[in-house]
Amino acid sequence: MRKRVSLKDIAHELGVSTAVVSYVLNDKYEGRVSEAKAQQIRETAKELNYTPNQIAKSLKKDKTFTIGLIIADISNLFYSNIARYIEDESKKHQYNMIFGSADENAEKFNELVQVMLSRQVDGIILAAPKGTESTLEYLKDQYIPFVLIDRHFPSIPDINTIGINNFQASYRVVEHIAKNGFRKPAMVTLSVDLFHMRERTAGFKNASKELLNILKPEVVEIDEEVLSGEIEDRMLKLIKDGVDLVYFSTNKIAMEGLAVLVKHNISVPREIGIICFDEADAYKIFHTSITFVKQPLQQIGQESVELLISLINGNQSAKSIVLGTQIIAGNSSAPH
């Protein structure tokens, strides 16, 4: 087995002390070592394939330099994309990441939390499914650093959260709809009891009443387990009933709905307009450019890691960060 390169090996190669090498590789050399010498030490470490001893480092600093990430559903493009940004940001701060997907299952989520804690992660970033309030309360009571992303649990105050204003995002969708001349929109969403999804629906309903004078806004809720089987009939009925635009509340629903339109050669936006919540690369292959609500995924990833590290380092104050969204207009909602 090849011998592991140590700080002593680098020091011997350059004729300097081990302490000087340690200062440079731990970014504590300012005022002690010249920039030219620091660069030389870094280059030599790279040439010798030096890698830090994480076990020794964690024992010395009482940290494992590992972050846990538990997302609600890996099949949702929103979470797979945001996981990438969180991993990238973690590396910038010299943290490794352990990843798990709860598949919107509370029991699996609870098990993953225990796995993370057994691995002695320094903190956890969570997108918690419904029914996990007791686990979040446990983490809070045990002073385990964690940040909740995308999801919101009003019953648990004073926890660190990062997300968007879903009500406002949907309200702005209807503003866009009204401005472009659509008068009879419908929203297609999942039949789930999640706060952020309820807020997304409430924003659509309120705006439809206030801006379009619709007394009873059309909202179609479909159980995710039967989404593929039911959405075709639901979409065709909406079109038959004279709906002139459909607003899909997630990109998962949008992909199913767009497939129905392609199958039946339904023209967008001439026969029906389309707006989707969240983006997806697959939209690019649709024959019409798709209007979608863009969430600041990179910013959510960066802010969640920075906030978590702040908690790990002893910051006890709870923080709720609400970020804005954008409507990226395509031809699918062009003036009607």
State residue 291 phi and psi, 5-degree precision: -80, 135
Q: Is residue 239 predicted with pLDDT exceeding 70?
A: yes
Place of tokens 């790990």: 312
The confidence score (pLDDT) of residue 61 equals 53
109, 128 contact by CB (below 8 A): yes
> In this prediction, what percent of the chain has a pLDDT beyond 90?
67
Q: Is residue 275 predicted with pLDDT exceeding 70?
A: yes
209, 217 contact by CB (below 8 A): yes
Place of tokens 């968007």: 164
The confidence score (pLDDT) of residue 265 equals 95
Q: Describe the strand order of the beta sheet including 273-277 as a list of residue ranges.
A: 218-222, 185-190, 245-248, 273-277, 291-294, 326-328
Query: Domains of the chain (ranges plus CATH)?
Result: 7-51 (no CATH), 65-164+297-322 (3.40.50.2300), 166-295+327-333 (3.40.50.2300)
Indicate the SS3 state at residue 29.
coil
* Entry pTM: 0.79
Angle subtended at Cα 327 by Cα 180 and Cα 269, rounded to the nearest 5 degrees:
40
The 10s digit of each residue's pLDDT in 111-148 is 999 999 988 999 999 999 999 999 999 999 888 999 99
Question: Rounded to whole angstroms, how far apart are CA atoms 15 and 42?
Answer: 14
The confidence score (pLDDT) of residue 175 equals 98
Q: Describe the strand order of the beta sheet including 146-149 as a list of residue ranges.
A: 96-101, 66-71, 123-126, 146-149, 161-164, 320-323
Q: Say if residue 213 is exposed, middle or buried (CB neighbours under 10 Å; 0-12, 13-18, 19+).
A: exposed
Mean pLDDT across the chain:
90
